[in-house]
Amino acid sequence: MSLVIRNLQRVIPIRRAPLRKKVEIVRSILGVQKFDLAIICVDNKNIQHLNRIYREKNVPTDVLSFPFHENLTAGEFPQPAFPDDYNLGDIFLGVEYIFQQCEEGEDYNDILIVAATHGLCHLLGFTHSTEAEWQKMHRKEKLALDELNRRAGTRLQPLSRALF
């Protein structure tokens, strides 16, 4: 139900209201607006720390997702038994890394939404460890972003498009 946005870093200015507005649209497109979600913006130091602890990769990255419901099949909706379990989990956005990776002409705020959408798909069980899994995830991301583009007038492309 609630979307919590937190900004723990000082490196990159964050516009919270537009981020919230677009993520709410993506939540509604994916049909998970009843679930709580947290988006936490962190800098390179913190995202690298998390990457090292949880994925044993000592480098910063763009997004890390921590699902509340683990082992979901890709695209499967959680079936909570209790009201407190209406929670998808946490998405950590490495906003400094995302900013540094922005190419010329790209809107940094748009890339944040793309990263958040990618993270949201991970929370719903999508992965991209194999080509087959990637295709499924890419399809889902594209569906969500195409609909967002239609509703919000944006021109966003999936984050996973270049992975395979």
Partner 1 sequence: MLALLGCVPGALGPAVAGLRATAPPHPSTPPPPTRCASPGSVRRPGLLRPPGPCPCGCGALHTEGDKAFVEFLSDEIKKEEKIQKHKFLPKMSGGWELEANGTEAKLVQKVTGEKITVTFSINNSIPPTFDGEEESSQGQKVEEQETELTSTPSFMVEVIKNDGKKALVLDCHYREDEVEQQEEAESDIFSIREVNFQSTGDPEWKDTNYTLNTDSLDWALYDHLMDFLEDRWVDNTFAGELAELSTALEHQEGSFVKS
Give me the count of residues in the chain: 164
3-state secondary structure of 76: coil
Of 30, 121, 133, 35, the closest CA to residue 78 belongs to: 35
**Token digits for 27?**
């939540």
Identify which of residues 21 and 57 has a Cβ nearer to partner 1 in the complex.
21
- Is 46 a residue that touches partner 1 (CB under 8 A)? yes
Contact range with partner 1 by CB under 8 A, out of 1-9, 28-36, 103-111, 131-139: 1-9
State how far the Cα of 116 lies from the Cα of 69, in Å rounded to an integer. 18
- Is 16 a residue that touches partner 1 (CB under 8 A)? yes
**CA 162, 90, 72, 22: dihedral to nearest 10 degrees?**
-60
Contact range with partner 1 by CB under 8 A, out of 19-27, 73-81, 120-128, 148-156: 19-27
CB of 7 to partner 1, least distance (A): 6
Q: Scanning residues 70 to 99, which ones bind partner 1 (CB under 8 A)? A: 90
Which residues are CB-contacts of 140 (< 8 A; sequence separation ≥ 6)?
A: 74, 75, 121, 124, 126
- Is 3 a residue that touches partner 1 (CB under 8 A)? yes
- Is 151 a residue that touches partner 1 (CB under 8 A)? no
Question: Considering only residues 49, 150, 151, 161, which one is a binding residue for partner 1 as defined by CB under 8 A?
Answer: 49
* Cα distances (Å, whole numbers) of residue 106 to 95, 114, 115: 14, 12, 13
- Is 154 a residue that touches partner 1 (CB under 8 A)? no
- Is 54 a residue that touches partner 1 (CB under 8 A)? no
Residues in the site for partner 1, rule: CB under 8 A? 2-10, 13-17, 19-21, 38, 40, 46, 49-50, 90
